[in-house]
Amino acid sequence: MNRVASIGLWAGPAAFTLLWLLVPETYISPKAPAVLALGAWMIIWWITEAVPIPVTAFLPLIGFPMMGVMKIGQAAAPYANPVIFLFMGGFIIALALEKHRLHERIALNLIRLTGTSGNGIILGFSLATALLSMWISNTATAMMMLPIATSVTNLIIRSDSQGGRAKTQQEKNFATGLMLTVGYAASLGGMATLIGTPPNVVFAGLLNDMFQIKISFAEWFIVGFPVAALLVLANYFTVTRLLFPNRLPKIEGSAQLIQSKLAELGPMRKSEKLVLVIFALTALLWMTQQPLNNLLETDFLNDTTIAMLGGLLMFAVPVSFTKGEFILTWKDTEKMAWGILFLFGGGLCLAEGLSTGGIIQAIGQWIGGQSHYSAWLVLTLIVISVSLSEVMSNVALVNVFVPVVFGIAQVMQVNPILLGLPVTLGASIALMSPIATPPNAIVFSSGHIRIQDMVKAGFLLNIISVIIIWAVSVTVMEWYW
Confidence (pLDDT) at 60 = 93
What average pLDDT does this structure show over 359-384? 74
Confidence (pLDDT) at 433 = 75
Q: At 160, is the secondary structure helix, strand, or coil?
A: strand
Q: Could you tell me if 18 and 307 are in contact, meaning their C-beta atoms sit under 8 angstroms apart?
A: no
Q: Show the CA angle centred on residue 283, arms to residues 136 and 429, nearest 5°.
A: 40
What average pLDDT does this structure show over 4-23? 91
What average pLDDT does this structure show over 177-198? 89
Q: How confident is the model at residue 198 (pLDDT cuts 50, 70, 90)?
A: confident
The CA distance from 28 to 354, in Å, is 11
How many helices (DSSP H) and strands (DSSP E) are in the chain?
Answer: 23, 4
More confident residue, 339 or 167: 339
Helix axes 270-296, 217-237, angle to 10 degrees: 130
> Among 43-47, 90-94, 188-192, 407-411, which range has the highest average pLDDT?
188-192
User: Which value, in Å, is the radius of gyration of the alpha carbons in the chain?
Assistant: 23
> CA-CA distances (angstroms) from residue 51 to 8, 55, 146?
9, 7, 28
The CA distance from 304 to 311, in Å, is 10
Q: What would the pLDDT profile of 263-306 be if each residue is shown by its tens digit?
A: 888 888 999 999 999 988 887 887 677 788 888 888 788 778 88
Does position 359 have pLDDT exceeding 50, yes or no?
yes
Closest C-alpha among 389, 314, 249 to residue 99: 314
The CA distance from 442 to 394, in Å, is 17
What lies within 8 Å, CB to CB, of 230 at 6+ separation is 468, 472
Q: At 377, is the secondary structure helix, strand, or coil?
A: helix
> Among 136-140, 175-179, 399-403, 446-450, which range has the highest average pLDDT?
175-179
Least confident window among 26-40, 140-154, 312-326: 140-154
Q: What would the pLDDT profile of 373-418 be if each residue is shown by its tens digit?
A: 778 888 888 888 888 777 666 777 788 788 888 888 888 888 899 9
Q: How confident is the model at residue 446 (pLDDT cuts 50, 70, 90)?
A: confident
> CA-CA distances (angstroms) from residue 360 to 35, 71, 364, 409?
11, 20, 6, 11
Does position 348 have pLDDT exceeding 60, yes or no?
yes
The CA distance from 469 to 481, in Å, is 16
Q: How confident is the model at residue 315 (pLDDT cuts 50, 70, 90)?
A: very high
What average pLDDT does this structure show over 242-271? 81
Q: State the greatest distance between any 2 C-alpha atoms of the chain, in Å, as a whole number.
A: 73
Closest C-alpha among 326, 242, 232 to residue 278: 326
Q: How confident is the model at residue 234 (pLDDT cuts 50, 70, 90)?
A: very high
Q: pTM for the complete prediction? A: 0.68
Confidence (pLDDT) at 363 = 67
Confidence (pLDDT) at 165 = 46
Give Cα 125 to chain centroid, integer Å: 19
Does position 307 have pLDDT exceeding 80, yes or no?
yes
Confidence (pLDDT) at 252 = 67
Confidence (pLDDT) at 160 = 37
Rounded to 10 degrees, what is the CA torsion of 371, 376, 380, 385? 110
DSSP H or E run through 320 = strand 318-320
155 phi/psi in degrees, rounded to 5 = -65, -30
The CA distance from 175 to 443, in Å, is 11
What does pLDDT average to over the chain? Answer: 83
Does position 163 have pLDDT exceeding 50, yes or no?
no
> CA-CA distances (angstroms) from residue 4 to 58, 274, 395?
21, 47, 20
The CA distance from 428 to 265, in Å, is 33
Q: At 79, is the secondary structure helix, strand, or coil?
A: helix
More confident residue, 254 or 266: 266
Does position 162 have pLDDT exceeding 60, yes or no?
no
The CA distance from 247 to 194, in Å, is 37
Q: How confident is the model at residue 349 (pLDDT cuts 50, 70, 90)?
A: confident
More confident residue, 183 or 365: 183
Q: How confident is the model at residue 17 (pLDDT cuts 50, 70, 90)?
A: very high
Does position 158 have pLDDT exceeding 60, yes or no?
no
Does position 145 have pLDDT exceeding 70, yes or no?
yes
